[in-house]
Structure 1
Amino acid sequence: MTSNPALPDDETLTESGLAAEQRGSILLIACGALAHEILALKKLNGWDHMSLTCLPAKLHLYPEKITDAVVEAVEKHRDDYGDIFVVYADCGTGGQLQTKCEELGVQMVEGPHCYSFFEGNDAFDARSEAGEITAFYLTDFLVRQFDAFIWKPMGLDRHPELRDMIFGNYTKLVYQAQLENPALKEKAKDCADRLGLAFEYRFTGYGDLATTLAKHA
C-alpha cells in the first residue's frame, strides 16, 4: 500500500467542489495532521453528510495558538452547519481548548493528544501507568513529515549534537501506524536510528478517532 502525498501545512485546507446546499450538516474542524485519516474514515463509512475543514498542521509546533485558531474557525462556520465537532484532543493547550469548546457549545475528541486516541485512550493510559514514560511517538503523518516537523524545527539538521540533549531521556521510538505500509515502517525505523532510539512498531489503525466520529456521524 502506498502512502498518500502530504497535505499542505501552511494554510487552511477545506474540502472543495461542493456547493453549499450539497454540504453535510456536520462540520469537522480538525488538525491538518489528521486530514488523511478523517477523509479515509468518511469514505469508508459513507459519511457524506460530514464536511471537513483542517487548520494548519504546523500549529502543533505552537500549541498556545491552537485554541484561538479553533475558536476563529467555529465562529466563522457555525451559521452554515447544523453541528460542529472539533477533531483535536487537548494537544498541549493545558485544558484551554476544552474550556473554549464548552463555552462555544461544541464537542471535541477526548484525550490528551492524538497518540493517545490513536492507541485508544484507555490502552494509552494503561501503558502510561505501567511506566511507558520514555517513549517518543510518531504517527503516519509525523513519519511522512519527520524532517519538517521534528528534525528541522528542533535544529537537528544544523546542530546534530543537540540530539542527545533533547532525546537523552527517551529510550524508544514507538511508531503508531494507522496504515499497514511497509515503506512508512522502514522510514520510521530510520527516524529511530537518526534519534538514537530503539524502535517499536504498533499498528493502531484509527483507534478512538474512528469510534468517536462514528458516535457523531
Structure 2
Amino acid sequence: MLLIACGALAREILALKAANGWEHLDLQCLPAILHNAPQRIVPAVEAAVEAARGRYARVFVVYADCGTGGLLSAACARLGVDMVEGPHCYSFFEGNEVFAAKGEATAFYLTDFLVRQFDAFVWRPLGLDRHPELRDAYFGHYEKLVYQAQTDDPDLTGKAMDCAARLGLAFERRWTGYGDLFWVLDRL
C-alpha cells in the first residue's frame, strides 16, 4: 500500500512505521510548503494518485482537509482512495473529537514540524522578518500559541516557547503524541 502524505508528516509516519513494523506501507511525501497555497494540494495529490495506479493495489492519502474547503475529500472520493479525517493535522494529532470540543478560535497551533520549520513556513513567508509591524495584522486576534508535541524534546519545547514570544502570544504545550494518526495507520 502506498501512503501519499504531506511532507510535514514524514518524520511521524516513518517513526510509526519503524515502531510498529509496518513494512507493508510505502511512503511518498508531497512538499509541505503546499500548505502555504492550499489550492495546490488537490492537483498534487491527484497527480500522485494517478501516477501510483498500476503500481499499488491500494493508495491512502495522509492529509486532512488542510484548507482545501472539502475539495481534497471530493477528489479522493472521485479517485476511489481514502484519506485521514479531520480539518487539519492539528485536529487529528489532538484527536478530532477532542479538538472539535475545545473550539479554540484564538489559538495558533504548531506541531513538531512547524516548530522546526517556523522561520521557513511562518516567519519569512508572512514577511515578519522584514516587517515585524505586520505581527498584529496576522496574529492580533490570537491569544495563545499551542504547541502540540508529538515527541518529548526539550529543545523543541524551547523553540516553541521562542515562537510564542516572537508572536507576542501566551504559550501552552500539549503532549499529543501521534494522536489519531496512529489509529488511522494502524487500521491499514
Assess same fold via TM > 0.5: yes
Instruction: Look up the SS of the partner of 2:183 in the other structure.
Output: helix
Counting matched residue pairs gives: 188
Does 1:192 pair with 2:167?
Answer: no
Asked if 1:133 corresponds to 2:105, the answer is yes
CA distance in 1, matches of 2:110, 2:187: 26
The letter of the residue matching 1:183 is D
Structure 1 residue 106: deviation in Å?
0.2
Q: Deviation of residue 29 (structure 1)?
A: 0.1
- Report deviation, 1:57: 0.6
Aligned to 1:201: 173
Match of 1:164 in 2: 136
The residue type equivalent to 2:88 in the other structure is H
Post-superposition offset of 1:165: 1.4
Q: Deviations over 1:160-203 (max 9, x none)?
A: 00001110000000000000000000000000000000000000
Q: Deviations over 1:76-98 (max 9, x none)?
A: 01210111000000000010000
Q: Normalising by structure 2, report the TM-score.
A: 0.99
The offset of 1:142, in angstroms, is 0.2
Q: Indicate whether 1:89 and 2:64 are aligned.
A: yes
Q: Secondary structure at the match of 2:115?
A: helix
Distance in structure 2 (CA, Å) of the matches to 1:159 and 1:133 = 25
Q: What displacement does 1:133 show? A: 1.0
Aligned-partner residue type, residue 166 of structure 1? Y
Q: Could you tell me which residue of structure 2 aligns to residue 21 of structure 1?
A: none
Q: Deviations over 1:28-71 (max 9, x none)?
A: 00000000000000001100011000000100101001000000
The percentage of counterpart residues that share the same residue type is 68
For the pair 1:34 / 2:9, whether they are aligned, the reply is yes
4+ residue runs over 3 A deviation: none
Show structure 1 runs of 5+ residues with no match.
Answer: 1-25
Which of residues 6, 20, 23 in structure 2 aligns to 1:48?
A: 23
Hey, what's the Cα distance between the residues in 1 that align with 2:134 and 2:171? 20
Which of residues 33, 45, 52 is equivalent to 1:77?
52
What is the rounded CA distance, in whole Å, between the counterparts of 1:50 and 1:166 in structure 2?
A: 39
Alignment of 1:105-144 (within 5 A): 105-128=80-103, 132-144=104-116
Give the Cα separation in 2 of the matches to 1:199 and 1:144: 16
For 1:113, the aligned partner's letter is H
Which residue type is aligned with residue 22 of structure 2? W
1:211 aligns with 2:183: yes
**Is the partner of 1:206 in helix, strand or coil?**
coil
RMSD: 0.4
Deviations 1:135-162 (A, max 9, x none): 0000000000000000000000000000
Aligned partner letter, 1:194: R
